[in-house]
Structure 1
Amino acid sequence: MMVNCCGLLTASKEPVPLKSIEVEVEVRDHVATVVSTLNYENKEDKPIEAVFVFPLPGDAAVCHFSAKIGQKEIVAEVKEKQKAREEYDDALSSGQQAFLLEESEQSPDIFSLSVGSLPPGESASISLEYVTELAVQADDGLRFCLPAVLNPRYQPQGSEAASVQVTSVPASLVPYNLSFSVRVSSPRPVSKVESSCSLDPLQYLNTEQTQATVKLAAGHKFDRDVELLIYYKDAHQPTAVVEAGQASAKPGTLMGDPVVMLSLYPEFPQAVMSSVAPCGEFVLLLDRSGSMSGACMESAKDTLLLLLKSLPMGCYFNIYSFGSSHEHIFPKSVEYSQETMEEALKKVGEMTANLGGTEILRPLKDIYSQPCIPNQPRQLFVFTDGEVGNTKEVINLVKRNSGSHRCFSFGIGEGASSALINGLAKEGGGHAQFITGTDRMQPKVMQSLRFALQPAVADISVKWDVPKGVAVTVLSPPITALFQGQRSLIYAQLTVKSHLISRIFRAAEGCVTVKYSLAGHPSKSQLNFSLKPAEDTGLTVHRLAARTLIRSLEMEETRRTRQQNEGVKKKVVEHSVQSGVSSVFTAFIAVNKGTGKAIQGPLVRRNVPTGLRECALFDDNMSYYNSADDCEDIHGFSYGECEEAYDGITVIRPAQPPRDPFLQLVSLQKASGCWERDPALAAALGKTSEEVENTKPSGVNQEVWATFLALIWLHGSKMEAQDEWELLAMKAASWLRAQNAPYATECVEAGNALLGFNVQKDALGL
């Protein structure tokens, strides 16, 4: 049930104390340091406690928290969570100002900030700093996302924890504003920075173009996530950064020793890649909860069409969909054929976002209960807007089944949970993608399908070669997945006997070798690196390494006995306090002990609203329903019945554009890869059936001619979308080669003449 009610707070009823947010981001290569400043002001005549629940990237390492009141700055400490809460409560009860920042126990991408005992007329400035790795996207862009939208998370009945209480309003009504600036620096030139939001032009700071700044354009409303894609030239270069330990920390500890961060980009031998026979069991899991309605659902259905047309002959597949309940198209995975493909597409065409809340755990259990098919590696594709409250439960289930499949995840729309989407892919040995704003889902999904068709890498091992006297402690979990050209990160602590430190780290080198088996062929990737610490990195690498270690321990904690858990929890708290990095068992606490007198009057609690995306339902009192479950909980009828059943409900649905010729063409392709001559094909090509028939070279089979025309049209008019149709075009070219058609040259010439293109035969892959 959805227990976090989404009410609209109006300025006349409850003034909102958060006035503005300023964000400064420094990106160094693929790591971002983010400093957010939240400015509060109490304009009421009573002291207040402001509570702000907000999202952060799921793998962020929150490492600094401070509050400034007037000219006085109070820096928070990391303490065990219960102790921090008690200290906060004690401070408030004695009239002192206090600030508490804690991570949600259900999902590591949700934080709550309590600003306690803000007197009438008082202002406070809260500063929050975190570091995060930037994920590599399918097109080699590095993705940075500043989450602005926190969608309510669906909490299934009987789940392990209570839901996070979130006060939310439609994002355009959020009353605070955002200023946002980014500085980028890298050893390689910055080629471009793109965003779903309007940016001022990129400003280069040096002639080498290795440093640049960019800002959000004026007038940005805090109504959606701020997503940046940063592109470097020659992005696939392996790198190593060694960071010196903290001078005040004890040698032999994580913060006292040097730490190395390695970025590896394996390149697989082309001979092996091209020799692998495509096969697999492809299980597609689609979110059909109410929040997926409208454009999200239509885009997902178009994507399933492309996926199904691109699957290789001889593979197996099935499609599951879920909301509060779940469905499947076939009782178990079936062999891919024209008949099964057509049946699946018919069912996909009938799908709507009508299945209620986001209950993803049950369909996953159902999928994992099905036995795997011999010699058909299971590949799971999950499409969701990620509005779940039991994130850790879901990720743990995927991890427990990681030996039987690879999981590719897709976060759809604003506010998709990065903890869920990244966690599914990481624990499932796959790859994660996010689709926001006006992004097309199809190219990202097809890139993941290309990854899924790569052979699974087995027997991965990492060997370190370092000078004598240096001990290596790997802090990252073992690598479970490698993909062609995709980055793998490894963190390791380097412990050295104290009298050897200056000699070893002055000029020595280390080497790391990753060995693995690829389709039965032994392969390896190697990186040599200097042990000399880099300059000006602060403690960024140490904090990211600490976060990696803490996350691994937290995952371990969920699979052990209560007694073992106490030991794991103790380790997490120890590392968290020592490194100053947040965890599920700790919190940041700051108390202003100089306020002196107790505050008069009762403390009023104010929940600061967080933005929601607007594709939803409003009643005549402007109450907000984010999903079918909200409607059912409040009114007792389903999302689809709203308009008819309740006078005051308005359903906001974007107009659906007519289907474009590209998708029409794709929908006509057969499972084998060919097209048949059909009036619908002629229409998609912009021609009449007579024109298609009259230009066919004599003696040419109708299917061969139709397939040539489709391929020529794709190459001639849709090259900008090649990522989307490349796999199905390869299947078509393979089908043509199997026909041994002797008329290829004549067909290409006649097809070009009919369609007005100049596509070369070689370009078609023949």
Structure 2
Amino acid sequence: MMNCCGLLTDKKEPVPLKSIEVQLEVKDHVATVVSTLNYENKEDKPLEAVFVFPLPGDAAVCHFSAQIGQTHIVAEVKEKQQAREEYDDALSSGQQAFLLEESDQSPDIFSLSVGSLPPGESASIRLEYVTELAVQADDGLRFCLPAVLNPRYQPQGSEGPSVQVTSVPASLVPYSLSFSARVSSPRPISKVESNCSLEPLQYLNADQTQATVKLAAGHKFDRDVELLIYYKDAHQPTAVVEAGQASAKPGSLMGDPVVMVSLYPEFPQDVMSSLASCGEFVFLLDRSGSMDCPMNDSTPQETRISSARDTLLLLLKSLPMGCYFNIYSFGSQFEHIFPTSVEYSEKTMEEALKKVEKMQDDLGGTEILLPLKHIYAQPCIPKQPRQLFIFTDGEVGNTKEVTDLVKMNAGTHRCFSFGIGEGASSALINGMAKEGGGHAQFITGTDRMQPKVMQSLRFALQPAVGDISVSWDLPKGVSSTILSPPITAMFQGQRSLIYAQLTGQCSEATDGCVTVKYSLAGHPSQNQLHFNLKPAGDTGLTVHRLAARTVIRCLESESTHIEQEDGEVKKKKVVELSVQSGVSSSFTAFIAVNKDDGKAVQGPLERRNIPTPFYQMCGMATPQFAPMACMVAYSAPMAADYLCSVGEVYDCSNMVEPVIGMAAPRIASADIDFSVYEEMQYGEEEYAAPEFPPPRKDPLLRLVSLQKASGCWLLDADLAAALGKTSEEVEKAKPASVSSEVWASILALIWLHGFKMDAKEEWELLTLKTASWIKAQNAPCVSECVDAGNTLLGCSVKKEDLGI
């Protein structure tokens, strides 16, 4: 074996992408992102560099330009096939050209082609997009710069080509990243956190409404960059009116003012504290090979699948008596624990838990569509609203098919989705929750899955909000056209965004009002927001572009569910709006051609695929896994030879080509089947992940696992051990007049409140069941039991804190 440094292509040629610079500007809950990609051709022949990379699934890409020497070229949005033809024609004639296009399969994958870069030439590509920031359960606004693009599994026999992705382990990406952010808001900025090391937050004014932050020096481009931004009083409703584009036609979306209304409904506390005692809960768990990856570097023994098993334990213990449930799992095929959903009881809960404990990442690829179709085909149980919880690392290639299916069934199924690990598709996770009227969560870095999932279960158990309507009160002469799809779901603390085009003129600056009416637990309620119609002065066209993106996504979805003739009409509307607004779509692309009278590029054009990082966990850094990682790199195709982390180069070209074959030239016509990758990488027979010592049972989960479906605990040796006591100590301290089950249950509550308050979100729901069960026993001497329990366990928990 030879030693060398850096990443090489199959011909040991350097990668022309040298660095990426990202500038983020956050205004309240909207982000503008400017990425500059710097290319340099150090070879002695002209190159075409092709880079397939992820963006947030709901991003509106609105600017694309190139700088070559003193020449600056701004790209235009054109119909996708026309843009491709112009790009190919430019390359054929020796001109420089640049093409940016969205994947046909998933709106969070883009392809950038940099054509005819002469020897010794440099080029800077500027890409700009705007996006809304999602609100997390702890009120933080989440921004994610996706660095990692995991291979997307393309189901066998599916229509359409899969996406060509040139992948390498994230630690071997050969280009650098610099990242800085500027945050401003009407409210003070409390803090900014990240999964990456940051330099200290720098406030720019005394009231702390503006600040800057950037990545610490030495950051490796080996993970998604996630920022969590916290404002004081983050849940205040807001409205921003943005003036139309002066050059656009009045009456068009870009020519008229557009208002963006952000609503945070606040529901009465007495209603929100009454959790539902009915419902059908269907849990769908990804058991593909990639679920064997560790959740993070610091705890390699805790894999995605083991964390999901622990989460299912908490979920099953927290379900209310009288509901129904079932558990599905999927890979290349799917399984279910019960043929149909069953009533929740001690027997069915224990049967399910025994099967959950045995679940492994042994079902091959990631075919999520088949189990979803099966679930949707099952008849719903009367008066038991179905709630679907989907756990996946999001590595699927048919995102649009999946989200369209969820949307078709949104009337009878509410969908909560969870993206596990780096590189989970934001288009898939956010799309399923949005179309299914639920809530999306991402578990990355050192995040624990359990508190985020339990937060979503609390949402699912909250009283359903129905009969939602939006009305506007505007001055005479001004009318509104709603651009957003109807609001189908509202949760406590979750933001709802509404975009509306304002037409007409009012005589002077005045106020408007938007009212959201809804029914909560059978009672009519409403939220109102008054706002000034005078356009804000510093928003650019951000609100218009986000509104255009919203309309484009709706039209794209509609075009796939109607007759072909009507579908072509919808497609034409998408293209027209995309070109008019300068916002990308699945039917358009950005094209820039350097038409300067320079000398044509001479010689045959060499193609260089820029590697995108995938998350290198699952043991692939060890020597025995290096050849398998090479397979991925070559199959895309790109690097059959590259430096693994042990410092050796492996040549896998002869091994892979007969299996996978070569990819077609561009994203639109690529034909790489990542099912081969996933099953070869993670299959049981050829390679197994390195063995870690089994983790010690988490004390919290150990105690929770002993709880009965009714909410009580039994007084036995297992409970005593979980409490850190002997059976004799626990028996001796029990007041004589109380039953063993009541005593055991009070001890469990005291232990949780005394030692695990930092994990309250994980156990709060299941202790509500316990408190209700204790009250139903009409047990004597409860206060005496609490005092005795505190003495035994060394705690000082008050009876009222236990809810009993």
Q: TM-score range by the shorter chain?
A: over 0.9
Q: Deviations over 1:59-81 (max 9, x none)?
A: 00000001011122111111111
Give me the whole-angstrom Cα distance separating, in 1, the residues matched to 2:113 and 2:410. 38
Give the deviation of 1:655 after TM superposition: 5.0
Give me the whole-angstrom Cα distance separating, in 2, the residues matched to 1:304 and 1:405. 20
SS of 1:230's equivalent?
strand
Pick which of 576-585 and 674-683 moved more: 674-683
SS of 2:684's equivalent?
helix
- Residue 641 of structure 1 is matched in structure 2 by 684
Pick which of 404-413 and 289-298 moved more: 289-298
Match of 2:795 among 737, 747, 757: 757
Give the deviation of 1:53 after TM superposition: 0.2
Residues 296 and 323 of structure 1: CA distance in aligned 2, closer, same or farther (over 3 Å): same
- Residue 377 of structure 2 is matched in structure 1 by 369
- Residue 175 of structure 1 is matched in structure 2 by 174
Let me know the Cα RMSD of the aligned residues: 1.9
Give me the whole-angstrom Cα distance separating, in 1, the residues matched to 2:128 and 2:275. 46
Q: Does structure 1 retain, via aligned residues, the 8 Å contact 2:414–2:438?
A: yes
User: What is the identity, as a one-letter code, of the residue corresponding to 2:556?
Assistant: E
Q: Does structure 2 retain, via aligned residues, the 8 Å contact 1:265–1:487?
A: yes
Q: Does structure 1 retain, via aligned residues, the 8 Å contact 2:365–2:679?
A: no
SS of 2:104's equivalent?
coil
Give the deviation of 1:275 after TM superposition: 4.8
Q: Does structure 2 retain, via aligned residues, the 8 Å contact 1:97–1:595?
A: no
Match of 1:310 among 306, 318, 336: 318
Give the deviation of 1:90 after TM superposition: 0.9
- Residue 703 of structure 1 is matched in structure 2 by 741
Pick which of 193-202 and 412-421 moved more: 193-202
Residues 683 and 400 of structure 1: CA distance in aligned 2, closer, same or farther (over 3 Å): same
User: What is the identity, as a one-letter code, of the residue corresponding to 1:302?
Assistant: D
- Residue 400 of structure 1 is matched in structure 2 by 408
Map 1:421-570 → 2, pairs under 5 A: 421-496=429-504, 500-501=505-506, 503-504=507-508, 506=509, 508-570=510-572
- Residue 751 of structure 2 is matched in structure 1 by 713
User: What is the identity, as a one-letter code, of the residue corresponding to 1:576?
Assistant: S
SS of 1:347's equivalent?
helix
Residues 755 and 603 of structure 1: CA distance in aligned 2, closer, same or farther (over 3 Å): same
Unaligned runs of 5+ in 1: 1-7
Residues 87 and 484 of structure 1: CA distance in aligned 2, closer, same or farther (over 3 Å): same
Q: Does structure 2 retain, via aligned residues, the 8 Å contact 1:242–1:260?
A: yes
Residues 205 and 151 of structure 1: CA distance in aligned 2, closer, same or farther (over 3 Å): same
Matched residues, number? 748
Residues 78 and 336 of structure 1: CA distance in aligned 2, closer, same or farther (over 3 Å): same
User: What is the identity, as a one-letter code, of the residue corresponding to 2:239?
Assistant: A
Give the deviation of 1:272 after TM superposition: 3.2
- Residue 390 of structure 1 is matched in structure 2 by 398
SS of 2:454's equivalent?
helix
Residues 694 and 232 of structure 1: CA distance in aligned 2, closer, same or farther (over 3 Å): same
Q: Does structure 2 retain, via aligned residues, the 8 Å contact 1:35–1:129?
A: yes
Map 1:129-528 → 2, pairs under 5 A: 129-275=128-274, 277-294=276-293, 295-496=303-504, 500-501=505-506, 503-504=507-508, 506=509, 508-528=510-530
Q: Does structure 2 retain, via aligned residues, the 8 Å contact 1:149–1:613?
A: yes
SS of 2:84's equivalent?
helix
Q: Deviations over 1:541-597 (max 9, x none)?
A: 000000001011111111011100111011101111111000011100111111522
Q: Does structure 1 retain, via aligned residues, the 8 Å contact 2:154–2:675?
A: no
Give the deviation of 1:253 after TM superposition: 0.7
Q: Does structure 1 retain, via aligned residues, the 8 Å contact 2:188–2:207?
A: yes
Question: Does 2:732 align with 1:694?
Answer: yes
SS of 1:651's equivalent?
coil
Give me the whole-angstrom Cα distance separating, in 1, the residues matched to 2:416 and 2:677. 35
Residues 352 and 576 of structure 1: CA distance in aligned 2, closer, same or farther (over 3 Å): same
Give me the whole-angstrom Cα distance separating, in 1, the residues matched to 2:30 and 2:275. 35
Give the deviation of 1:160 after TM superposition: 2.3
Q: Does structure 1 retain, via aligned residues, the 8 Å contact 2:153–2:675?
A: no
Give me the whole-angstrom Cα distance separating, in 1, the residues matched to 2:679 and 2:155. 18
Q: Does structure 2 retain, via aligned residues, the 8 Å contact 1:27–1:185?
A: yes
Give the deviation of 1:651 after TM superposition: 2.9
SS of 1:450's equivalent?
helix
Q: Deviations over 1:621-644 (max 9, x none)?
A: 7525699x99984799794534xx
- Residue 601 of structure 1 is matched in structure 2 by 603
Give me the whole-angstrom Cα distance separating, in 2, the residues matched to 1:444 and 1:82. 42
User: What is the identity, as a one-letter code, of the residue corresponding to 1:488?
Assistant: S
User: What is the identity, as a one-letter code, of the residue corresponding to 2:515?
Assistant: T
Give the deviation of 1:535 after TM superposition: 1.6
Pick which of 91-100 and 265-274 moved more: 265-274
- Residue 120 of structure 2 is matched in structure 1 by 121
Q: Does structure 2 retain, via aligned residues, the 8 Å contact 1:9–1:609?
A: no
Map 1:56-75 → 2, pairs under 5 A: 56-75=55-74
Give the deviation of 1:519 after TM superposition: 2.2
Q: Does structure 1 retain, via aligned residues, the 8 Å contact 2:168–2:629?
A: no
User: What is the identity, as a one-letter code, of the residue corresponding to 2:734?
Assistant: K
Match of 2:782 among 731, 744, 754: 744
Pick which of 131-140 and 455-464 moved more: 455-464
Q: Does structure 1 retain, via aligned residues, the 8 Å contact 2:271–2:463?
A: no
Give me the whole-angstrom Cα distance separating, in 1, the residues matched to 2:679 and 2:351. 34
User: What is the identity, as a one-letter code, of the residue corresponding to 1:754?
Assistant: L
Give the deviation of 1:13 after TM superposition: 1.2
Q: Does structure 2 retain, via aligned residues, the 8 Å contact 1:161–1:390?
A: no
Residues 349 and 206 of structure 1: CA distance in aligned 2, closer, same or farther (over 3 Å): same
Residues 125 and 733 of structure 1: CA distance in aligned 2, closer, same or farther (over 3 Å): same
SS of 1:751's equivalent?
helix
User: What is the identity, as a one-letter code, of the residue corresponding to 1:596?
Assistant: G
Give me the whole-angstrom Cα distance separating, in 2, the residues matched to 1:354 and 1:595. 59
Pick which of 272-281 and 173-182 moved more: 272-281
Q: Does structure 1 retain, via aligned residues, the 8 Å contact 2:276–2:463?
A: no
- Residue 3 of structure 2 is matched in structure 1 by none
Q: Does structure 1 retain, via aligned residues, the 8 Å contact 2:276–2:462?
A: no
Unaligned runs of 5+ in 2: 1-6, 294-302, 636-659, 661-672
Pick which of 711-720 and 650-659 moved more: 650-659
Q: Give the share of equivalent positions with the same residue, in percent.
A: 78
Q: Does structure 2 retain, via aligned residues, the 8 Å contact 1:160–1:390?
A: no
SS of 2:389's equivalent?
strand
Question: Does 2:39 align with 1:40?
Answer: yes
Q: Does structure 1 retain, via aligned residues, the 8 Å contact 2:280–2:381?
A: yes
Match of 2:715 among 656, 669, 677: 677
Give me the whole-angstrom Cα distance separating, in 2, the residues matched to 1:730 and 1:160. 48
Give me the whole-angstrom Cα distance separating, in 2, the residues matched to 1:635 and 1:314. 40
SS of 1:117's equivalent?
strand
Give me the whole-angstrom Cα distance separating, in 1, the residues matched to 2:500 and 2:679. 55
Give the deviation of 1:460 after TM superposition: 1.1
- Residue 623 of structure 1 is matched in structure 2 by 630
User: What is the identity, as a one-letter code, of the residue corresponding to 1:573?
Assistant: V
Give me the whole-angstrom Cα distance separating, in 2, the residues matched to 1:303 and 1:526. 38
Residues 369 and 18 of structure 1: CA distance in aligned 2, closer, same or farther (over 3 Å): same
- Residue 96 of structure 1 is matched in structure 2 by 95
User: What is the identity, as a one-letter code, of the residue corresponding to 1:530?
Assistant: N
